[in-house]
Amino acid sequence: MSAEVKLDNHNAAPLAAHPTEKKRPIFEALKSMISSKTSLIGLILIVLLILVALFASFLAPHDPTQGDLFSRYKSPSGAHWLGTDELGRDILSRLIYGSRISIQVGLIAVGIALVIGTFLGAISGFFGKWLDMLVMRVIDILMAFPSILLAIAIVAVMGKGLTNTMIAVGIVGIPQFARIVRSSVLSVKESEYIEAARAGGARQFRVLFRHVLPNCMAPIIVQTTLSIGTAILDAAGLSFLGLGVQPPKPEWGAMLDAGRAALQTAPWVVIFPGLAILITVLGFNLLGDGLRDAFDPRTKK
Protein backbone atom coordinates (compact mmCIF):
# COMPACT_ATOMS: atom_id res chain seq x y z
CA MET A 1 0.00 0.00 0.00
CA SER A 2 2.85 2.38 0.82
CA ALA A 3 4.46 1.69 -2.52
CA GLU A 4 1.23 2.60 -4.25
CA VAL A 5 1.01 5.85 -2.32
CA LYS A 6 4.55 6.77 -3.29
CA LEU A 7 3.81 6.01 -6.90
CA ASP A 8 0.73 8.22 -6.83
CA ASN A 9 2.67 11.05 -5.25
CA HIS A 10 5.39 10.64 -7.83
CA ASN A 11 2.86 10.92 -10.65
CA ALA A 12 1.15 13.92 -9.08
CA ALA A 13 4.14 16.19 -9.52
CA PRO A 14 4.08 16.34 -13.31
CA LEU A 15 0.32 16.98 -13.23
CA ALA A 16 0.81 19.94 -10.93
CA ALA A 17 3.55 21.32 -13.14
CA HIS A 18 1.48 20.97 -16.31
CA PRO A 19 -0.10 24.46 -16.20
CA THR A 20 3.32 26.01 -15.78
CA GLU A 21 4.62 24.14 -18.80
CA LYS A 22 1.76 25.54 -20.88
CA LYS A 23 2.95 29.05 -20.19
CA ARG A 24 6.51 28.38 -21.24
CA PRO A 25 5.98 28.63 -25.02
CA ILE A 26 4.51 32.12 -24.57
CA PHE A 27 7.43 33.27 -22.43
CA GLU A 28 9.87 31.70 -24.85
CA ALA A 29 8.17 33.43 -27.77
CA LEU A 30 8.34 36.83 -26.04
CA LYS A 31 11.96 36.22 -25.07
CA SER A 32 12.79 35.24 -28.64
CA MET A 33 11.12 38.38 -29.98
CA ILE A 34 12.92 40.67 -27.54
CA SER A 35 16.27 39.09 -28.36
CA SER A 36 15.70 39.68 -32.08
CA LYS A 37 17.27 42.94 -33.26
CA THR A 38 14.91 43.31 -36.21
CA SER A 39 11.76 42.98 -34.11
CA LEU A 40 13.18 45.39 -31.54
CA ILE A 41 13.84 47.95 -34.28
CA GLY A 42 10.29 47.52 -35.51
CA LEU A 43 8.90 47.90 -31.99
CA ILE A 44 10.95 51.07 -31.40
CA LEU A 45 9.74 52.60 -34.68
CA ILE A 46 6.11 51.84 -33.84
CA VAL A 47 6.42 53.23 -30.30
CA LEU A 48 7.98 56.43 -31.67
CA LEU A 49 5.18 56.74 -34.22
CA ILE A 50 2.54 56.35 -31.52
CA LEU A 51 4.25 58.94 -29.30
CA VAL A 52 4.47 61.39 -32.19
CA ALA A 53 0.77 60.90 -32.92
CA LEU A 54 -0.24 61.31 -29.27
CA PHE A 55 1.80 64.48 -28.74
CA ALA A 56 1.37 65.97 -32.21
CA SER A 57 -0.05 69.22 -30.88
CA PHE A 58 3.08 69.73 -28.76
CA LEU A 59 5.63 68.53 -31.32
CA ALA A 60 4.36 70.31 -34.43
CA PRO A 61 6.04 73.72 -34.81
CA HIS A 62 3.28 75.14 -37.06
CA ASP A 63 -0.38 74.73 -37.87
CA PRO A 64 -0.53 71.88 -40.41
CA THR A 65 -3.39 73.45 -42.40
CA GLN A 66 -2.33 77.11 -42.33
CA GLY A 67 -0.42 78.19 -45.41
CA ASP A 68 1.59 81.19 -46.52
CA LEU A 69 1.69 81.80 -50.26
CA PHE A 70 4.83 83.91 -49.85
CA SER A 71 6.61 80.84 -48.43
CA ARG A 72 5.71 78.36 -51.17
CA TYR A 73 8.24 75.60 -51.84
CA LYS A 74 10.76 76.85 -49.31
CA SER A 75 13.68 74.46 -48.93
CA PRO A 76 14.50 72.99 -45.49
CA SER A 77 15.76 75.67 -43.14
CA GLY A 78 15.73 76.74 -39.51
CA ALA A 79 12.21 78.13 -39.86
CA HIS A 80 10.89 75.05 -41.64
CA TRP A 81 13.04 72.02 -40.91
CA LEU A 82 11.60 69.95 -43.78
CA GLY A 83 10.59 72.82 -46.03
CA THR A 84 7.15 73.93 -47.19
CA ASP A 85 4.67 72.67 -49.78
CA GLU A 86 2.76 74.28 -52.66
CA LEU A 87 0.64 76.37 -50.27
CA GLY A 88 3.46 77.33 -47.92
CA ARG A 89 2.45 74.85 -45.23
CA ASP A 90 5.11 73.38 -42.97
CA ILE A 91 5.85 69.83 -44.11
CA LEU A 92 7.15 68.67 -40.73
CA SER A 93 3.94 69.73 -39.01
CA ARG A 94 1.84 68.00 -41.65
CA LEU A 95 3.86 64.80 -41.28
CA ILE A 96 3.45 64.86 -37.50
CA TYR A 97 -0.32 65.31 -37.70
CA GLY A 98 -0.47 62.83 -40.57
CA SER A 99 0.78 60.11 -38.23
CA ARG A 100 -2.54 60.35 -36.39
CA ILE A 101 -4.47 59.64 -39.58
CA SER A 102 -2.20 56.76 -40.53
CA ILE A 103 -2.54 55.08 -37.13
CA GLN A 104 -6.30 55.64 -37.15
CA VAL A 105 -6.64 54.13 -40.60
CA GLY A 106 -4.39 51.19 -39.74
CA LEU A 107 -6.10 50.29 -36.48
CA ILE A 108 -9.72 50.74 -37.56
CA ALA A 109 -9.28 49.12 -40.97
CA VAL A 110 -7.46 46.13 -39.50
CA GLY A 111 -10.04 45.98 -36.72
CA ILE A 112 -12.78 45.60 -39.32
CA ALA A 113 -10.84 42.90 -41.14
CA LEU A 114 -9.93 41.16 -37.88
CA VAL A 115 -13.47 40.93 -36.49
CA ILE A 116 -15.23 39.93 -39.70
CA GLY A 117 -12.43 37.73 -41.04
CA THR A 118 -11.94 35.91 -37.74
CA PHE A 119 -15.66 35.23 -37.40
CA LEU A 120 -16.01 33.96 -40.97
CA GLY A 121 -12.89 31.82 -40.77
CA ALA A 122 -13.85 30.41 -37.37
CA ILE A 123 -17.37 29.30 -38.30
CA SER A 124 -16.17 28.06 -41.67
CA GLY A 125 -13.44 25.86 -40.25
CA PHE A 126 -15.37 24.72 -37.17
CA PHE A 127 -18.73 23.79 -38.70
CA GLY A 128 -17.50 22.82 -42.19
CA LYS A 129 -19.80 21.25 -44.76
CA TRP A 130 -21.97 23.63 -46.82
CA LEU A 131 -21.17 26.62 -44.60
CA ASP A 132 -17.45 26.14 -45.20
CA MET A 133 -18.00 25.88 -48.94
CA LEU A 134 -20.19 29.00 -49.06
CA VAL A 135 -17.85 31.19 -47.00
CA MET A 136 -14.72 30.06 -48.80
CA ARG A 137 -16.22 30.69 -52.23
CA VAL A 138 -17.02 34.26 -51.21
CA ILE A 139 -13.47 34.64 -49.89
CA ASP A 140 -12.08 33.25 -53.16
CA ILE A 141 -14.05 35.87 -55.09
CA LEU A 142 -12.61 38.66 -52.96
CA MET A 143 -9.08 37.28 -53.34
CA ALA A 144 -9.47 37.10 -57.11
CA PHE A 145 -9.12 40.89 -57.26
CA PRO A 146 -5.85 42.72 -56.54
CA SER A 147 -6.22 44.44 -53.19
CA ILE A 148 -5.72 47.99 -54.44
CA LEU A 149 -8.19 47.50 -57.32
CA LEU A 150 -10.80 46.10 -54.97
CA ALA A 151 -10.29 49.04 -52.61
CA ILE A 152 -10.63 51.48 -55.51
CA ALA A 153 -13.87 49.82 -56.59
CA ILE A 154 -15.31 49.99 -53.06
CA VAL A 155 -14.37 53.65 -52.61
CA ALA A 156 -15.77 54.47 -56.05
CA VAL A 157 -19.11 53.02 -54.96
CA MET A 158 -19.17 54.43 -51.42
CA GLY A 159 -17.50 57.76 -52.10
CA LYS A 160 -14.32 59.52 -51.04
CA GLY A 161 -13.34 60.32 -47.48
CA LEU A 162 -11.54 58.98 -44.43
CA THR A 163 -14.39 56.78 -43.18
CA ASN A 164 -15.00 55.10 -46.54
CA THR A 165 -11.25 54.60 -46.96
CA MET A 166 -11.03 52.71 -43.67
CA ILE A 167 -14.04 50.58 -44.59
CA ALA A 168 -12.63 49.79 -48.04
CA VAL A 169 -9.20 48.85 -46.70
CA GLY A 170 -10.85 46.77 -43.98
CA ILE A 171 -12.93 44.81 -46.48
CA VAL A 172 -9.83 44.14 -48.56
CA GLY A 173 -8.11 42.58 -45.53
CA ILE A 174 -10.94 40.19 -44.62
CA PRO A 175 -9.85 37.25 -46.86
CA GLN A 176 -6.38 37.00 -45.30
CA PHE A 177 -7.79 36.77 -41.76
CA ALA A 178 -10.53 34.35 -42.80
CA ARG A 179 -8.12 31.90 -44.41
CA ILE A 180 -5.56 32.04 -41.60
CA VAL A 181 -8.19 31.54 -38.89
CA ARG A 182 -9.88 28.74 -40.83
CA SER A 183 -6.64 26.80 -41.21
CA SER A 184 -5.83 27.26 -37.52
CA VAL A 185 -9.32 26.16 -36.44
CA LEU A 186 -9.11 23.06 -38.63
CA SER A 187 -5.90 21.99 -36.88
CA VAL A 188 -7.11 22.78 -33.36
CA LYS A 189 -10.68 21.47 -33.39
CA GLU A 190 -9.57 17.82 -33.56
CA SER A 191 -7.46 18.08 -30.40
CA GLU A 192 -8.23 15.91 -27.41
CA TYR A 193 -9.18 18.77 -25.10
CA ILE A 194 -11.72 19.96 -27.67
CA GLU A 195 -13.23 16.49 -27.76
CA ALA A 196 -13.28 16.51 -23.96
CA ALA A 197 -15.14 19.84 -23.94
CA ARG A 198 -17.70 18.43 -26.35
CA ALA A 199 -18.08 15.28 -24.28
CA GLY A 200 -18.68 17.47 -21.24
CA GLY A 201 -21.81 18.88 -22.88
CA ALA A 202 -20.46 22.29 -23.94
CA ARG A 203 -22.38 23.96 -26.73
CA GLN A 204 -20.81 24.36 -30.14
CA PHE A 205 -20.30 28.13 -29.99
CA ARG A 206 -18.91 27.87 -26.47
CA VAL A 207 -16.40 25.29 -27.63
CA LEU A 208 -15.49 27.49 -30.60
CA PHE A 209 -15.03 30.80 -28.79
CA ARG A 210 -13.90 29.47 -25.39
CA HIS A 211 -11.57 26.65 -26.38
CA VAL A 212 -10.72 26.74 -30.09
CA LEU A 213 -10.15 30.42 -30.89
CA PRO A 214 -7.91 31.15 -27.85
CA ASN A 215 -5.53 28.47 -29.15
CA CYS A 216 -5.42 30.15 -32.57
CA MET A 217 -4.22 33.53 -31.28
CA ALA A 218 -0.58 33.28 -32.36
CA PRO A 219 -1.19 33.46 -36.16
CA ILE A 220 -3.95 36.03 -35.63
CA ILE A 221 -1.59 38.32 -33.70
CA VAL A 222 1.09 38.02 -36.38
CA GLN A 223 -1.38 38.69 -39.19
CA THR A 224 -2.80 41.70 -37.34
CA THR A 225 0.62 43.28 -36.95
CA LEU A 226 1.55 42.74 -40.58
CA SER A 227 -1.85 43.93 -41.79
CA ILE A 228 -1.56 47.32 -40.08
CA GLY A 229 1.40 48.25 -42.27
CA THR A 230 -0.39 46.99 -45.36
CA ALA A 231 -3.52 48.97 -44.44
CA ILE A 232 -1.52 52.18 -44.03
CA LEU A 233 0.11 51.58 -47.41
CA ASP A 234 -3.22 50.87 -49.13
CA ALA A 235 -4.81 53.97 -47.61
CA ALA A 236 -1.86 56.08 -48.76
CA GLY A 237 -2.25 54.62 -52.25
CA LEU A 238 -5.94 55.55 -52.34
CA SER A 239 -5.15 59.09 -51.17
CA PHE A 240 -2.39 59.36 -53.76
CA LEU A 241 -4.98 58.54 -56.43
CA GLY A 242 -7.34 61.17 -55.03
CA LEU A 243 -9.83 58.62 -53.70
CA GLY A 244 -8.87 58.52 -50.04
CA VAL A 245 -8.47 61.22 -47.43
CA GLN A 246 -9.25 64.59 -48.92
CA PRO A 247 -7.44 67.92 -48.42
CA PRO A 248 -6.74 69.84 -46.30
CA LYS A 249 -6.21 66.87 -43.96
CA PRO A 250 -2.47 66.12 -43.74
CA GLU A 251 -2.47 62.53 -44.98
CA TRP A 252 0.86 61.21 -46.28
CA GLY A 253 -0.49 59.75 -49.52
CA ALA A 254 -2.35 62.96 -50.31
CA MET A 255 0.87 64.89 -49.64
CA LEU A 256 2.65 62.72 -52.21
CA ASP A 257 -0.09 63.40 -54.73
CA ALA A 258 0.04 67.16 -54.15
CA GLY A 259 3.83 67.30 -54.38
CA ARG A 260 4.48 65.17 -57.46
CA ALA A 261 4.05 68.21 -59.75
CA ALA A 262 7.08 69.83 -58.11
CA LEU A 263 9.20 66.69 -57.88
CA GLN A 264 12.10 68.18 -59.86
CA THR A 265 12.03 71.71 -58.43
CA ALA A 266 11.12 70.88 -54.80
CA PRO A 267 11.88 67.18 -54.19
CA TRP A 268 11.54 67.51 -50.41
CA VAL A 269 7.78 67.81 -50.86
CA VAL A 270 7.70 64.17 -51.99
CA ILE A 271 10.76 62.69 -50.28
CA PHE A 272 9.72 63.25 -46.67
CA PRO A 273 6.14 61.92 -46.92
CA GLY A 274 7.51 58.92 -48.81
CA LEU A 275 10.05 58.29 -46.07
CA ALA A 276 7.33 58.55 -43.44
CA ILE A 277 5.29 55.85 -45.18
CA LEU A 278 8.40 53.70 -45.70
CA ILE A 279 9.53 53.86 -42.07
CA THR A 280 6.04 53.21 -40.70
CA VAL A 281 5.34 50.20 -42.90
CA LEU A 282 8.85 48.89 -42.26
CA GLY A 283 8.32 49.11 -38.51
CA PHE A 284 5.14 47.03 -38.58
CA ASN A 285 6.66 44.50 -40.98
CA LEU A 286 9.76 44.04 -38.83
CA LEU A 287 7.66 43.56 -35.71
CA GLY A 288 5.36 41.15 -37.53
CA ASP A 289 8.30 39.11 -38.79
CA GLY A 290 9.72 38.98 -35.27
CA LEU A 291 6.39 37.79 -33.86
CA ARG A 292 6.07 35.17 -36.58
CA ASP A 293 9.54 33.81 -35.88
CA ALA A 294 8.90 33.84 -32.14
CA PHE A 295 5.66 31.87 -32.39
CA ASP A 296 6.93 29.46 -35.04
CA PRO A 297 8.51 26.45 -33.32
CA ARG A 298 10.39 25.51 -36.49
CA THR A 299 12.63 28.59 -36.11
CA LYS A 300 13.70 27.70 -32.57
CA LYS A 301 16.94 25.93 -31.99
Q: What sign has the CA pseudo-torsion 291, 294, 297, 301?
A: positive
pLDDT at 20 over 70: no
Q: Using one digit for the tens of pLDDT, what is the confidence trace for 27-46?
A: 666 666 677 788 889 989 99
Listed residue (81, 92, 86) closest to 70, CA to CA: 86
Residues contacting 294, CB < 8 A, separation 6+: 28, 29, 30, 32, 33, 36, 39
Q: Using one digit for the tens of pLDDT, what is the confidence trace for 161-217?
A: 999 999 999 999 999 999 999 998 888 877 777 777 667 766 777 777 777 888 888
Return the percentage of the chain with pLDDT > 70, whole number: 85
Q: Using one digit for the tens of pLDDT, what is the confidence trace for 54-101?
A: 999 999 999 998 888 888 999 998 888 999 998 999 999 999 999 999
Contact 252, 277 (CB under 8 A): yes
Cα separation, 273 vs 64, in Å, equals: 14
Cβ neighbours, 10 Å, residue 260: 11
ω into residue 76 within 30 of 0, thus cis?
no
DSSP 210: I
pLDDT band at 296 (very low <50, low <70, confident <90, very high): low
Cα separation, 239 vs 252, in Å, equals: 8
What domains are there in the chain, each with its CATH number? 24-59+82-299 (1.10.3720.10)
pLDDT at 13 over 90: no
